[in-house]
Amino acid sequence: MTGTSKAAAILLALNKETAGRVLKFFDEDEVKVIVQAINDLGSISREAVDKLIEVFADDIKGGVDLTANAKKIHDLLEGVLSSEQIEALLSQTGTKSAHAVWQQLAKIPDAVLAKYLQNEHPQVVALVLSRAELPTAAHLLAQFPRKEANVVVQRMLALRPVEERPLVLLEISLVQDVLLNRRNNSDQSPHTRLAHIINKMDRKMMEESVGSIAAHNEKDAELIRQQLFTFLDLDRLTDQSLTTVFDAMQPDTIIHALVGIPSHLTDRILAALPARAQRVIKSELENGVSPKPKEIQKAQRVIADAALVMLERGDIEIQHEGESDGPD
């Protein structure tokens, strides 16, 4: 077993509270590596666990048969990361082995993969080509201009063994940026894809973009409008849905997001929070907190993006006409 695999096994053998305390000392990249290692772990015999535990601590002797699965990973990370962060990590590391990415790259069109790699450092390109299957590497190298291809070749010749952590991070990035994104994008209509892009814009740019589309084709614009969701659209949610959204948010994010919004929406959001959080956030707002416009926009976008994901999953809902959750 590699060092990372041993760490993953030990974390699974620990109780949730102890494992949580350990994981809090990890940065995000390290958590990604551990999650992938847990996902790759499979089953470990009692004897193997016993031997492993003896190395780490004399007072842990029991040993258990371990079978890693999504629920165990979720339980392990719960309380350390938010539910949204856990879900994102599981989606990034969900393939049974990140190492399978090198075989999966052969299924990606050469032009698509070459375009992705052309934005990367030549050393990264050299590492990817050295790991990819031979036909894939040859086709990709042919996509580069001669001068850039020569640089990559020289770097491939000079490559030294790569440590496990950066290699796993590269594999996870390829899974997320190339394989998963391509799969997700292929399932989207052009209107949905464009709506996701416009949803990332500030409100002024969003309105200008939709207006430009409407000037050419009102039907296209309407299909896109139906899928747009801004922070102010939170007012369309039921009270219970507002509570669900803001339960997952950090206090600082909520405080920044509430600066300068209509008072009735502020009141609805505060009413959706637990009493203690209400008092803290209301006190901060009354004391005249003044974040920068970019901080306000970022906080509002974080909350709106989370709400949009929850809407798509069916975790929250928009109030029907005639309901009285919000003001007239």
Three-class SS of 109-169: CHHHHHHHHCCCCHHHHHHHHHHCCHHHHHHHHHHCCHHHHHHHHHHHHCCCCCCHHHHHH
Amino acid letter, residue 319 = Q
CA dist 44 and 256 (Å) reads 47
Collect the ranges in the chain with pLDDT lower than 70.
Answer: 1-3, 27-29, 55-100, 164-165, 172, 175-176, 179-189, 193, 320-328
To the nearest 5 percent, what fractions of the chain are helix, strand and coil?
Answer: 70, 0, 25
Res 97: pLDDT: 45
Query: If you search the block for the tokens 């089953």, which residue do you land on?
Result: 43
pLDDT for 46: 76
What are 15-30's pLDDT values in tens digits?
777 777 777 777 666 7
Alpha-carbon gap, residue 109 to 140, rounded angstroms = 10
pLDDT of residue 288: 82
Predicted pLDDT of residue 110: 74
* Contact (CB, 8 A) for 52 and 27: no
Helices 28-41 and 164-174 cross at an angle (nearest 10°) of 80
Which pair of tokens denotes residue 240?
Answer: 């219970």
Residue 261: the pLDDT is: 93
Given this model, what pLDDT does residue 2 score? 66
pLDDT at 321: 55
